[in-house]
Amino acid sequence: MKNQGSSYLRELIRILVRDLGILEKSDTSCCGVTISQCHAIVEIGRSEEISLNELAKTLNLDKSTMSRTINNLVKSGLVIREMHPEDRRYVTIKLTDGGMDTFKNIESRMKEYYKNIFQSIPDNKREQVLESLKLLTEAVNKNKCC
């Protein structure tokens, strides 16, 4: 039964990830940017300013992958990268005005999208779903994979 439960959990998460489009690699999958760029823009927008290292850690990516993502966002004019005047290894990332517009667009669309999903859950099950997702998130964080 225990093994069956974990297999079913894996299958449900696999379907959820697929249905939410998390695996989508298209350049236009998230308001005109890639999914990884979308996640970076959201984290930068929410923090207003973040170091490259902090962003990589938050998104659970290695620094070189994060650097490539940021390079593409800089080329697109959505973010600016600033070096610390005394420590050139410390890089600060901020959104440009265009990046801020993209951030607001993403946040607005995602708010509406998840509002519709939430409203599709029966009223008497909403708190249960939220509590279960919180427990799942905590369990995932305690048991990092590969």
The domain that holds 109 is classified in CATH as 1.10.10.10
Position 6 in a domain: no
| pLDDT for 3 | 57
Position 94 in a domain: yes
Mean of pLDDT values over 54-68: 91
Position 5 in a domain: no
Between CA 46 and CA 31 the distance in angstroms is: 17
Between CA 49 and CA 95 the distance in angstroms is: 8
Position 56 in a domain: yes
Residue range 76-135, pLDDT digits in tens: 999 999 887 787 778 899 999 999 999 999 999 888 888 999 999 999 999 999 999 999
Position 17 in a domain: no
Position 23 in a domain: no
74-113 core/surface letters (b: 16 or more CB in 10 A; e: else): eeeebbeeeeeeeeeeebebbbeeebbebbeebeeeeeee
Q: How many domains does the chain have?
A: 1
| pLDDT for 4 | 76
The parent domain of residue 57 ranges over 28-142
| Residue 50: pLDDT band with limits 50, 70, 90 | very high
| Residue 20: pLDDT band with limits 50, 70, 90 | confident
Q: What mean pLDDT, rounded, does the chain reach?
A: 86
| pLDDT for 88 | 76
Residue pair 67/83 in contact (Cβ under 8 Å)? The answer is: no
Kind and range of the H or E run holding 53: helix 52-58
More confident residue, 13 or 71: 71
How many other CB atoms are found less than 10 A from the CB of residue 55?
Answer: 23
Mean of pLDDT values over 52-80: 93
Q: Whose CA is closest to 28, among 139, 144, 137, 106?
A: 106
Position 18 in a domain: no
Residue 145, pLDDT > 90, answer no
